[in-house]
């Protein structure tokens, strides 16, 4: 197992869920969520949790780029590196077109910045925000945004800014707002499960 990721493969996997943790966490942080989502859908999933490349300066966790204070100049290189890592996961069995990218907070911002330029099955961003001067491409995957109305870390207005930028595309962009803070509560997980089923589950074939 590579040190920069955690992988839970499945011999029967026909799709992949890639998880991007938030600032100060690590690759293991979202694996329980990934497992719960995988258990909820019919399509067998390969779970991959990517570890942010930098050590967080204020503690033992990781970061995709410096955030306190925000090092916006480092974002382009961080996004480029993440795109390459996601593309390297693609295989004949599970191409990018069968891959969903899911990120929380800083990982959600990276999900939007990197994932919109890749031919993925979908993007899920919880408590995310747009990077300064970010512009969404017209051709992009479908997006599910989730954000707490009482988020005091990344304000709910960040989700509205993302949605406003994403509406230029013909692809879907759904925003699910919940009565909570900077977290992924059960009602947000339920929305993720419904969306993954829609994106990944194939209609049952009659015997």
pLDDT in tens, 19-39: 999 999 999 999 999 999 999
pLDDT in tens, 40-92: 999 999 999 999 999 987 778 999 999 989 999 999 999 999 999 999 999 99
- Contact between 197 and 95 under an 8 Å Cβ cutoff? The reply is no
205 has a pLDDT exceeding 50: no
The dotted CATH code for 5-200 is 3.40.50.1820
What is the side-by-side strand order in the sheet with 15-20? 5-8, 45-50, 15-20, 99-104, 122-126, 143-148, 173-178
Nearest-angstrom CA–CA distance, 26 and 134: 25
Confidence class of residue 3 from pLDDT cuts 50, 70 and 90?
low
182 has a pLDDT exceeding 50: yes
């Amino acid at each position: 197992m590579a040190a920069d990721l955690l992988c839970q493969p499945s011999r029967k996997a026909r799709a992949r869920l890639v998880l991007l943790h938030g600032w100060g966490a690590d690759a293991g942080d979202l694996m329980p969520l990934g497992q719960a989502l995988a258990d909820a859908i019919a399509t067998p999933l390969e779970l991959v949790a990517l570890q942010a490349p930098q050590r967080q300066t204020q503690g033992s966790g990781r970061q995709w780029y410096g955030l306190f204070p925000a090092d916006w100049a480092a974002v382009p290189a961080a996004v480029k590196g993440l795109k390459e890592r996601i593309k390297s996961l693609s295989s004949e069995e599970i191409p990018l077109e069968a891959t969903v990218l899911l990120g929380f907070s800083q990982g959600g911002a990276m999900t939007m910045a990197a994932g919109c330029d890749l031919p993925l099955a979908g993007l899920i961003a919880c408590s995310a925000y747009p990077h300064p001067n970010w512009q969404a491409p017209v051709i992009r995957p479908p997006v599910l945004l989730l954000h707490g109305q009482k988020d005091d870390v990344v304000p709910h207005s960040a989700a509205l800014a993302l949605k406003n930028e994403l509406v230029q595309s013909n692809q879907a962009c759904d925003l699910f707002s919940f009565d909570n803070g900077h977290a992924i509560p059960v009602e947000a997980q339920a929305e993720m499960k419904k969306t993954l089923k829609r994106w990944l589950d194939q209609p049952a074939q009659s015997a």
